[in-house]
Amino acid sequence: MSPADGARSLFASCFGAAPAGVWVAPGRANLMGEHTDYNGGFVLPFALGQVTAVAAAPRADRRLVLCSRQQPGLVVDAALDDLAPGAIPGWGAYPGGVAWALRAAGRKVPGASIAIDSDVPAGAGLSSSAALECATALALTELGGSGLVPRPELAAIARRAENEFVGVPSGIMDQSASLLGRAGHALLLDCRSLESCQVPFDPGSAGARLVLIDTRATHALTGGEYARRRAECEEAARLLGVPSLRAVTDPAVVDRLADPVLRRRARHVVTDDNRVLQVVALLRDPARLSGEGGEVYREIGRLLTQAHESLRDDFEVSWPEADAAVAAAVGAGAFGARMIGGGFGGSVLVLDGPGSRVRTAVSEEFARRGWTAPDFLEAIASDGARRAA
Ligand code: GLA
């Protein structure tokens, strides 16, 4: 059953009626640009085919009542007018936070009954939380008659819900990918100007493919390390006399930082920003894509592995299962691989060529080390959030 059908049938069993509509929003993977978003830099994520679905109908009592197939038996019931950061514990804080942030942005929000289903794995670093926020944001704006809220504005509202209501200091990448993604494209987002454009991205046409490895080491951004990295980047920018690390394009500039930790953090951000632009240039080179398409993906693969080394050694957000998965994938013939997302758990993105043995090699390596078997998902650049048929 698709998440949309799952949400629809859960709605019927929770609320004894049919929903007014079903809205879906995807998780995301990120091709390049990690920990660059909150530094005002570039990111190149894409929306996944895996989605979170929200079946919803307005209610007259100004309450928000939520049930989720992933949280059986746990119904959240909150008064819309009493919503405030800290008011809803647990998973209900994501949809609750969106209702709160929409109202704070002056949008009309009705009371609503909401049933949720999802095939975005939680805790796998694929932005299941952004998917839930964005599907809720679409549902509530449509039910509230707010008309079509511009997607970048909705992304900012969903991010505010996560930052201020849930209390996770994330950047703007995940919500932007979920709301602005387009099938067959990656989204180039300039996190300083918030301008974005679609970059054609179809590895399948060159015989390449993207595989996600959920390393089954769950991550939690609420942990202090993410916030610590943000603070280190801000400190590095301050010492370099720039408003944000985005302003630095020459990696040699970071050598001016006396503190070795800050120097490494800044070097990752500056080189990853550059890698985003290198990948975009490769994808936009029509001569190379039509001729030796495979060679372009080989080069992108090399950049992915470089980015992993930078995240591992300079930014220090990798984790043992990710390092082992990258090494095993590359050893088995993949074009390249890297951890994605905030780090300390979650998934690895592999750019794979034809006929490789990545799956077997990675599974064997995990078994050899006595780790929980990893999950493999096909990553296909898909459309962003929408109302389901
Ligand atoms: C998490 C955050 C994003 C971004 C990534 C790292 O996914 O939610 O905003 O900072 O980590 O690139």
Distance, in Å, from the CA atom of 266 to the CA atom of 201, rounded to the nearest integer, reads 29
Q: What is the model's pLDDT at position 285? A: 85
- Which of 230, 252, 293 minimizes the C-alpha distance to 39? 230
Distance 202 CA to ligand 1 centre (A): 24
The yes-or-no answer on residue 174 being catalytic is: yes
Q: How many beta carbons lie within 10 A of that of residue 285, not counting itself? A: 12
pLDDT exceeds cutoff 70 at 223: no
Distance 139 CA to ligand 1 centre (A): 24
Percent of the chain scored above 90 by pLDDT? Answer: 92
Give the separation between CA 186 and CA 12, rounded to whole angstroms.
Answer: 36
Please give the pLDDT value at position 290. Answer: 61
Q: Is there a contact between 212 and 377 (Cβ–Cβ < 8 Å)?
A: yes
Q: Measured between alpha carbons, how far is 219 from 120 in angstroms, rounded to an integer?
A: 15
Instruction: List, for residues 150-174, the tens digit of each pLDDT value.
Output: 999 999 999 999 999 999 999 999 9
Strand partners, 348: 213, 339
User: Token pair of 257, please?
Assistant: 């930082």
For residue 296, give both structure tokens.
Answer: 């372009």
| Residue scoring higher pLDDT (287 or 40) | 40
The confidence score (pLDDT) of residue 222 equals: 52
Note the pLDDT tens digit of each residue in 71-110: 998 899 999 999 999 999 999 999 999 999 999 999 999 9
* CB of 165 sitting under 6 A from ligand 1: no
Tell me, using a 6 A CB cutoff, whether residue 273 lines ligand 1. no
- pTM (2 d.p.): 0.96
Cα 33 to averaged position of ligand 1 atoms, centre (Å): 10
pLDDT: is 295 or 361 the higher one? 361
Q: Compute the mean pLDDT over every residue in the chain, rounded to the nearest whole number.
A: 95
258 burial (CB, 10 Å; 0-12 / 13-18 / 19+) is exposed
- The residue to mutate among 31, 32, 37, 230, having the most atoms of ligand 1 within 8 angstroms of its beta carbon, is 37
